[in-house]
Amino acid sequence: MANRHEIDVDGDLVLTLSRMRLADADAEVEDEDETLQNDELRVSSKVLQLNSPVFKAMLGGKFKEGTELAEKTGPEPYDLELPDDDVEAMSILCQILHNVYVPEIPKPMSLEKLAYICDKYECINALKYCGIVWIRDWLQQFDDEVPPMSDFCHLLVFAYVIDLPVEFSEISWRIFLYHEGPFSTASEQVKMLVDHPLLHTDIISRYTPHPRPEYDD
Domain identity same for 99 and 190: no
* Structural domain contains residue 109: no
Q: Would the pLDDT of 171 be above 60?
A: yes
Q: Would the pLDDT of 111 be above 90?
A: yes
Domain identity same for 157 and 69: no
Residue 199 CA to its chain's centroid (Å): 13
pLDDT-wise least confident of 113-117, 190-194, 202-206, 209-213? 209-213
* Structural domain contains residue 171: yes
For residues 48-79, one letter each, b for 16 or more C-beta atoms within 10 angstroms of the residue's C-beta and e for the rest, the string is: bbebbeebbebbbeeeebbeebeeeeeeebbe
Report the chain's C-alpha Rg in angstroms. 21
* Structural domain contains residue 216: no
* Nearest C-alpha neighbor of 171 from the set 194, 187, 147, 197: 147
- Domain boundary pick from 103, 134, 151: 103
Percent of the chain with pLDDT over 70: 81
Please state whether beta strands 34-43 and 3-6 pair in parallel, antiparallel, or not at all (unpaired). parallel
Q: Would the pLDDT of 27 be above 50?
A: no
* Nearest C-alpha neighbor of 139 from the set 157, 126, 151: 151
C-beta neighbour count of 85 within 10 angstroms: 18
CATH number of domain containing 88: 3.30.710
* Structural domain contains residue 116: no
- What is the structure's pLDDT at 190? 77
Predicted TM-score (pTM) of this structure: 0.83
Domain identity same for 96 and 144: no
- What is the structure's pLDDT at 19? 73
Please state whether beta strands 13-22 and 78-81 pair in parallel, antiparallel, or not at all (unpaired). parallel
pLDDT band, very low/low/confident/very high, at 103 (cuts 50, 70, 90): confident
* Structural domain contains residue 99: yes
- What is the structure's pLDDT at 92? 97
Q: How many domains does the chain have?
A: 2
Q: Which domain holds residue 131?
A: 123-209
